[in-house]
Amino acid sequence: MVDISVAHAGLILQNSRMKPMTLKYKLSVVITLLVLILTFDQATKKWAVQTLMGQSPHYFLNGLFQFVYAENPGAFLGIGGGLSREVRFVVFALIVFFGLGGMLWYLFKGEKSRLNLFAYSFILSGGFGNLWDRVIHESGHVIDFMLIDIWGPIRTGVFNVADMAIVAGVLLAIYGEIRYKKSKAEFESVK
């Protein structure tokens, strides 16, 4: 049996080594990831327009990976693409803008986990990358250009670097939640 005071002391020692995140640290992480991801996202979308637009798909790894140009007026997998331009702007630009702003506010005011800081920074960066497309393109579309075709009907939708950042952020957040619940359960079992 584990001595509760030893386990508790271990958690206190572990937490004491982790200094609280300062606003300056949070800003540096968010701004760095935002600039890097947004720059890479926009550069690859520009490349896609110049290289892939109007062309047949480029296949790699026996068709597993493809570069194929697409303009997505909707959200994930084209959801809502049939809505009018005005409704899409409200839903996919204004609401997303305020949602990302709320996430940013939470990161600066409430977030305590470094892992979540990175996870939500990836999501923010990807969200702003796609939001930028919606605002600068007259039709309000997002440029997508990558596709993974696993086998038969098992394939991704066409996606871009911003989408990859969003997925990476969501996966990091899920991992963080699993890790938190596991450590909480271990601590509870020691009591």
Q: Pick the residue with more confidence: 13 or 92?
A: 92
pTM: 0.80
Q: Mention every residue, 6+ apart, whose C-beta is less than 8 A from residue 82.
A: 74
| pLDDT per residue as tens digits for the range 100-111 | 988 888 888 877
Distance CA 142, CA 165 (A): 15
Cβ atoms of residues 37 and 122 within 8 Å:
yes
Among the residue ranges 88-92, 105-109, 110-114, 126-130, the one predicted with the least confidence is 88-92
Which pLDDT score, from 0 to 100, does residue 5 have?
44
Alpha helical stretches, state H, the chain: 4-17, 23-51, 85-89, 95-109, 114-136, 161-190
As a whole number of angstroms, the longest Cα–Cα distance in the chain is: 68
Helix axes 23-51, 161-190, angle to 10 degrees: 140
Domain ranges of the chain: 21-190
Residue 124 has pLDDT above 50, yes or no: yes
Mean pLDDT of 47-63: 94
Positions marked active-site = 144, 163
Residue 125 has pLDDT above 60, yes or no: yes
